[in-house]
Amino acid sequence: MRIIAVMNQKGGVGKTTTSVNLAAGLSKMGKRVCVVDLDPQAHASLHLGVEILGNETTIYNVFTGEKKMADSRRLVAPNLWLTPSSLDLAGTELELVDTVGRELILRDAINEMVATHPFDYMIMDCPPSLGVLTINALSAAGEVFIPLQPHFLALHGLSKLFETTALVTRRLNRNLRVSGIVLCLYETGTRLAEDVAQDLSLFLKQSDPEAPWYNARIFQSRIRRNIKLAEAPSFGQSIFDYASKCPGAQDYGMLAEEVEGLAATRQAPLSKAG
């Protein structure tokens, strides 16, 4: 099982769009996927057609310890599950302030769930902050994907984000790696986007080989700016159900294949040895 945190403390860079459509793409390839919505704004839940109005179980109840993760997940499409979020989650930071081990609540909940309900992928859509919810995601994850909008300030703020992953690697989760960077809202035909990609690739190559981001790859699949991707959430549909032939569906379909291919390369040495 791969547990991926889709993270960037900036809002509007494509975290939710990527979490939902990558998950949908993988599920259509036959993988069992669970999306964990960790943003109190619940955009990923809405994008998958789930709106929490009453007192249904959400990830908030998992953080407070009232419910198990398996009780909060629901099937939203073939092979695709969601653990929804709700606005209550906005209070978690304060509510957990005195809780010992609050950084590890999600990791424990996931471990308990997958013992009986296994998945191929868990994809966590993080909120736009580096608070306790994001730290929980990083403590539970094996990998971090960073969606990035390639404009001239894109790399600004990345150092803070990398520092946070390094801190979590040292203190909470030694296995965590930044494995991929997804260029979102990509403008084809501009030099700027390619320049940002090159700067970033140079930065990664020159990093400390011990850094959790040293082996990060910039995915070849660039997610072009495509209006259908912005429309799909209001219909509660992934891009594949909303407009299966549009450029957005092509780009996320390619990304899903690339991510799955990365699994093959990551697992190759293991299968040789075993």
End-to-end C-alpha distance for the chain, whole angstroms: 18
Residue 233 partner contact from Mg ion, ligand ADP, none using kind-dependent CB cut-offs of 5 to 8 Å: ligand ADP
Binding test (CB under 6 A) with ligand ADP, winner from 79, 226, 237, 238: 226
Comparison of 80 and 229: residue with beta carbon closer to ligand ADP: 229
From 27-35, 41-49, 114-122, 153-161, give the range in contact with Mg ion by CB under 5 A. 41-49
255 binds, among ligand ADP, Mg ion, none (CB under 5 to 8 A by kind): none
160: left (phi over 0), alpha (psi -120 to 50) or beta: alpha
- Judged by CB under 6 A, the stretch of 55-63, 107-115, 219-227, 265-273 that binds ligand ADP is 219-227
Q: For residue 10, what are the contacts with CB-CB under 8 A and spacing of at least 6? A: 128, 157
Residues touching ligand ADP: how many (CB under 6 A)? Answer: 17
**Min separation Cβ 93 and ligand ADP, Å:** 18
220 within 8 A of 209, measured Cβ to Cβ? no
Distances from the Cα of 87 to the Cα of 33, 83, 169, angstroms: 24, 14, 29
Which of 10, 31, 43, 47 touches Mg ion by CB under 5 A?
43
Sign of the alpha-carbon dihedral angle for 200, 182, 256, 251: negative
Stretch that binds ligand ADP, among 13-21, 51-59, 188-196, 254-262 (CB under 6 A): 13-21
Taking CB under 6 A as the criterion, the residue among 17, 169, 221, 238 binding ligand ADP is 17
Strands 80-83 and 74-77: antiparallel
Whichever of 27 and 221 has its CB closer to ligand ADP, that residue is: 221
- DSSP element (H, E) containing 91: none
Considering only 7-15, 67-75, 134-142, 192-200, which stretch makes contact with ligand ADP by CB under 6 A? 7-15
| 7, 9, 16, 165: residue in contact with ligand ADP (rule CB under 6 A) | 16
Q: Name, in order, each residue with C-beta under 8 angstroms of 253's C-beta and a sequence gap of 6 or more.
A: 25, 240
The yes or no reply on residue 223 touching ligand ADP (CB under 6 A) is yes
Q: In what order do the strands lie in the sheet with 143-148?
A: 74-77, 80-83, 33-37, 121-125, 2-6, 143-148, 177-183, 217-218
Phi, psi of 49 (to 5 degrees): 85, 20
Alpha carbon 160 to its chain centroid, in Å, reads 18
Q: Name residues contacting ligand ADP, limited to 162-191 (CB under 6 A).
A: 184-185
Strand partners, 80: 33, 77
Of 29-37, 106-114, 115-123, 227-235, the window that binds ligand ADP (rule: CB under 6 A) is 227-235
Among 11, 30, 131, 261, binds ligand ADP (CB under 6 A): 11
Which of 15, 28, 73, 107 is in the footprint of ligand ADP by CB under 6 A?
15
Three-state secondary structure readout of 8-30: CCCCCCCHHHHHHHHHHHHHHCC
For ligand ADP, the binding residues (CB under 6 A) are 11-17, 43, 128, 184-185, 223, 225-226, 229-230, 233
